[in-house]
């Protein structure tokens, strides 16, 4: 590689070990299973130096939206233009109305040069779940309570998620439901929200959490926290989600995050019926 810049190749399962080494070098918590999960839903590229994976980028299609993720370059190769090279190549794999990503501080300048704009702050909360010092008083005694959900709820979940983000993530939701456990909140005969918790990184991640309003989101999150005591849990939220206080009360402190960024070619209109309160993963926006 010192005298030339080879073209990236299609990322496949044979590249997972090398990709895992890159994410570990960057301090990311992803496991082999996480890489397999992301790759199964995405198209991607790997840049090789011999047999060594030195850069990766995945693009995950969600209908009119494509998420850019797992943009990694080996530490020894950073500052050589490999990141921009593989990212620009990966972005030729799709032609969406809107590109989305969550940027690290190191990656944000590159995305800005490519036309991405800041769309808000994502806060990463994580820790061992503990009971709150003061008992919660969310909701009323006669409020609806979250109940177990599953693949039979996929169509309803996908419709709510579509309204929250103007994307089609049915395949992602199906994969999350197969891998984890879900709760839904129904008032009357209408879905008020859902949350899926699945294995990820150091333990589990709760997300996506999609709800009609903050009260519904807090009710769903409370149910997840109640069933996760003593376990490691991660929740990625918008800075203004209204969930931060509850998460910190249960030992899930903010440990960083990223910047939500978008590159719109055709502006998308998002319904106000539902909102996303917690991400499925920063990789999926």
CATH tag, 9-96: 3.40.630.30
pLDDT digits (tens, 9 = 90+) for 51-84: 999 999 999 999 999 999 999 999 999 999 999 9
Return all residues near 252 (Cβ < 8 A) that are at least 6 apart.
125, 126, 127, 129, 233, 234, 235
User: Taking the model in full, what pTM does it have?
Assistant: 0.94
DSSP string for residues in 162-209: HHHHSS--HHHHHHHHHHSEEEEEEETTEEEEEEEEEEETTEEEEEEE
- The pLDDT, as a whole number, for residue 135 is 64
Return all residues near 27 (Cβ < 8 A) that are at least 6 apart.
none
Average pLDDT, rounded, for the chain: 94
Containing 216, the helix (H) or strand (E) segment is helix 214-226
Domain 124-284 has CATH 3.10.20.30: no
pLDDT digits (tens, 9 = 90+) for 9-53: 999 999 999 999 999 999 999 999 999 999 999 999 999 999 999
**Dihedral of the CA atoms 120, 126, 31, 55 (nearest 10)?**
30
* Domain parsing of the chain, residue ranges: 9-96, 124-284
Containing 24, the helix (H) or strand (E) segment is helix 16-25
pLDDT digits (tens, 9 = 90+) for 92-138: 999 999 999 999 999 999 999 999 999 999 999 999 999 987 766 55
Domains 9-96 and 124-284 agree in fold: yes
Is the pLDDT confidence value at 140 over 50?
Answer: no
């Amino acid at each position: 590689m010192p005298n030339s810049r080879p073209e990236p190749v299609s990322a496949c399962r044979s590249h997972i070990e090398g990709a895992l080494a890159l994410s570990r070098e960057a301090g990311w918590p992803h496991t082999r299973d996480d890489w397999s999960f992301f790759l199964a839903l995405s198209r991607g590229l790997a840049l090789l130096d011999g047999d060594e994976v030195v850069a990766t980028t995945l693009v995950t299609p969600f209908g009119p939206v494509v998420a850019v993720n797992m943009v990694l370059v080996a530490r020894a190769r950073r500052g050589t233009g490999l990141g921009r090279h593989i990212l620009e190549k990966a972005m030729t794999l799709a032609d969406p109305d809107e590109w989305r990503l969550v940027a690290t501080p190191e990656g944000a300048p590159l995305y800005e040069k490519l036309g991405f704009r800041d769309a808000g702050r994502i806060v990463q909360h994580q820790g061992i779940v503990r009971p709150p010092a003061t008992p919660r008083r969310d909701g009323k005694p006669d409020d609806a309570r979250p109940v177990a959900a599953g693949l039979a709820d996929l169509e309803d979940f996908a419709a709510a998620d579509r309204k929250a983000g103007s994307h089609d993530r049915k395949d992602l939701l199906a994969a999350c439901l197969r891998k984890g456990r879900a709760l839904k909140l129904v008032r009357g005969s209408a879905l008020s929200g859902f949350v899926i918790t699945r294995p990820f990184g150091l333990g589990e991640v709760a997300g996506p959490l999609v709800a009609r309003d903050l009260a519904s989101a807090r009710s769903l999150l409370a149910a997840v926290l109640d069933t996760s005591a003593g376990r490691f849990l991660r929740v990625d939220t918008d800075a203004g989600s209204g969930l931060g206080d509850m998460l910190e009360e249960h030992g899930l402190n903010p440990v960083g995050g990223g910047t939500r960024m978008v590159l719109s070619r055709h502006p998308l209109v998002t319904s106000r019926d539902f909102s996303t309160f917690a991400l499925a993963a920063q990789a999926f926006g």
